[in-house]
Structure formats: structure tokens, C-alpha cells
Structure 1
Amino acid sequence: MMLYLSLYPSIGLDGQMMSLLETLPPSLVNTLGFDQIATGAGYAQATFYGLLGFVLPTVAAIGWGSAAVAGAEEQGRLELDLAHGISRSGYVAGQALALVARLLWLGVYAGVLLALVSAPFELDLERANIVPQTAAAVGLWLFSGSVALLVGSLTGRRAWATGAGALVAAAAFLFNGIANQRDDFDALRVFSPYSWAFHETPLSDGPSPGLWPLWIGVAVLLAGSVAALTRRDIRG
């Protein structure tokens, strides 16, 4: 994050980056959101939140979500924990809260760093917009992690849970990238949590309507995870 953002004064403000982007295929530029990097907010969104700031936390979220129930079940820990008087719903709820807490910590940490480097790196960000940007980023990471948790609760198989979370994350990014190519493809944004989070960039525009379906979806997935484990047999 610090490496990417520190380059903005040298390659963003003087137009070097825009000159470089003119040599790239427009479809690639639109897919990655690099068409908005002329501003500090657009640069931070495209180079951090839209790339490594999406991929790495999402990978972590999927790993944590798939390990929470399915991983514990495959290792025999789940049955042992439940034998000590912990209810199934309570167990999954606790794992869901742990997942939320971990990702929220990552999001807040990134947001605080962003606020601290805004002036030194000449990003000129509206600090109030860092809050909805953090909510969008955490919600997006959590969506894929919640899918992994739900599938793990339904099946007890970590590989399936990991695959489902990864598939949702990849599809969300792909649909958003396709929708960025032409207005005719805007309908795909309905199926992309990535678009819900970042189509209207909270870092530059403030809170966006997409935060509602994003967080409602997360809540439904987490609630479904709690309900799923209570309705099936656990493999010993």
C-alpha cells in the first residue's frame, strides 16, 4: 500500500501515468479502473483497493471462512468442541464474529494508514470518505469469506468452501470488468459484489447505494451459515 501510494506525486500528478496508460489497450485500462487515476482518490482505489487490497484480504477471508467450520470438522475439532456443551448455532456465530473482527481490523488499519499518508503523498483525500470506503472494502472481503463459511457449514468440506468463495470473488471481479467495457453490459453489475462496493467510488463520492445490498448479502450469508450447521449431521 505504502509503495503504491508513495508514487502518486511523481507519476500521477505530472501526467506520466496517464501518458503510459494511453499506450495500453483501453479494455485493460477500463477493467482495472486505471481510467480514474488522475485524482488521488481514483489512484488509491485503482492501485490499492482494486488490486492487492482486494486480492490479499479476500484470499485471507476465504481461508478463514473455509477453516472456521469445514476445516475444524475435517480435523475432528468441531465434534470435540460441540461435545463440551457449545451449541451449533453458538459455535458458528462465534466463528462468524471472529471473521468479521479480523477483516474489520484489516480494513480499519488500511483506512488509518490512508488518512495518515493522504497529505504527505499529495492524495488530497476527503477524510470523511475513508469511512464508507473502509465499509465497502470490508464488506467486499467479507462477502467471499461468508460464502466460504456458508458452504463449509453446509458440506463440511474445506475444499468446496474454498472453491465457492474463490469462484464468487473471481466472478465479481470479472463481471465488474466486463461491465466497465460498455454501457450495454451494465446489467452485469447487479451480479457483482465488486461493483456494489466500488462502482461509485466511496473514496471520492462518499457513501454509495451499493453498500446496502453488499452488507445485506453478508448478513444473509452469515445467518445462513448459522442455520446450516444446525440442520445436518456432522462427520466424525
Structure 2
Amino acid sequence: MSELATEKSRTVVLRALGVLAGILDVAIDDRRLANNPARHIRNLPRSGPGKRRVYLSHDQVATLAACSAYPTMVLTLAYTGLRWGEATGLRVRSVNRLRRRFVIEENAVMIAYEIHVGTPKTHEKRSVPYPERLAPMIEQACAGKGPEGLLFGDGVNHMRNSGAQGWFANAVRRAQAVDPSIPRLTPHDLRHTAASLAISSGANVKAVQRMLGHASAAMTLDTYADLFDDDLDAVASRLNDAMPLVALPAGPQTRYRQPK
């Protein structure tokens, strides 16, 4: 692990360790090993400062969508928090148009230029709401496709985001020409934007957790702790409103006295 950490990122090292640990767990179940040496390893690679997260405003999202060849995809990512693979894996049958919900049960991942379809990252199906203003665009995306048709794209082939020369990168460049305040970003940054917009609208951490498909609310808090700073101020403000006035005697020594 130490040698691998000199060449690879912390994420890659931990993923490799996780695969090895899983294999050795099977060996223990088969009674070929007494314990798993890949578990409880100390001195794991430390995480660096990481990439700064990008949060777009509502106006910036609208500009990006208007400059994109696929505005419905942009708005879906920015207002639902779906992962790219979850969005491209959506089928017409995954859309509950009555309740305006996506049922997330597939995840399309590109490996060596080939699309592989599997379960979502947490391996659990979940339901994610989408805004009412997005409903006509989703309706149009469903038009002419059967239940198994893919929601985005031509209905047969999964949409691809081909890096620096792809449709999303071109949309970002066009949007920056319109609004220079729009930073460089990837489709995954729209997931962060969705979290930011949801929290700023008043959504609590459990709602955001369910929307994003995080394993726990603690994970959501750890990931987006900076977005909940305003909530702390709001807590203090509400406590101030509820707190009774306290009468304090004049002088150097003050004691709490319950008001009459």
C-alpha cells in the first residue's frame, strides 16, 4: 500500500485495498484463512485538501442549460443530484410522471470506452423527485419511446460525456462566454450544485441524503459541512427568540435571576 500510494491517489489505493479485503473475506468464509490481513490497517494514505467544489447559482444553471445541446440533462443533474451514470441509465419506465419522481435502479459506467450497466453505487433502489418546471421537458424526453427506452439520448444508446471535447465541455465554454463568473466544471459538479440549491432552499440533511443516495446522513454532513454553516446561525437566532429575558443586577458580580 505504501508503494502504491507513491504512484496513485488515495482513492485508488483505498479501492484496491477494498477489493483485496473483500477477496480475503471470502477466503475466511471458506476457512482458508484465519484472519484478514487487509482489514484494520494503520497508516492509511492521508487525504489531501481535495478539489474545491463548484456550486452554481440558479441563474448560472439556466445559462449553462441554454448553452447546451442537451438542456434537459443539465437541468436534471443540477436539480436532482443524480450521478452521471444514474442519469444516463434512466429508462422511460423509471419515470413516475404522476408523482414527478425518478426511480433509480441502474447505473451506466464507461470502462475502457464500453458502457457497463449495473446497480447504483449504494446497490439500493431509491426515488428522487424532480421539479414541476422540469416535467414538460421530461415528458418530451419520454415521447416516442417504449418503457425500456433510455430517457436521455436516442433511447437506445447511453449518452456519453467525451471529456474536454464533449458536449458538456463545449456547453461550459459557451456559457462562460455569456457569463464569465461560471467556473470550469464537470457533470459531477452539478451534483454538488444540486446539494447546494436544496440546502439553500431549506431542505434538511435527511432529505438531502435521500436525494443524493448517500449511505447515511453523517456522510452528507461530512461531504457538505460548509453548506450547513448558515443553519448554525439560524439555530442561534431561533434560540435567541425563544430565550426569556434575563434580569441581571448591576455591579461586578452578576447572577442569573429568573424574571418575575
Q: TM-score w.r.t. structure 2 length?
A: 0.25
Give TM-score scaled by structure 1 length: 0.26
Structure number having the greater helix percentage: 1
Highest RCO, 1 vs 2 (Cα 8 Å, sep ≥ 6): 1
Structure with greater proportional strand content: 2
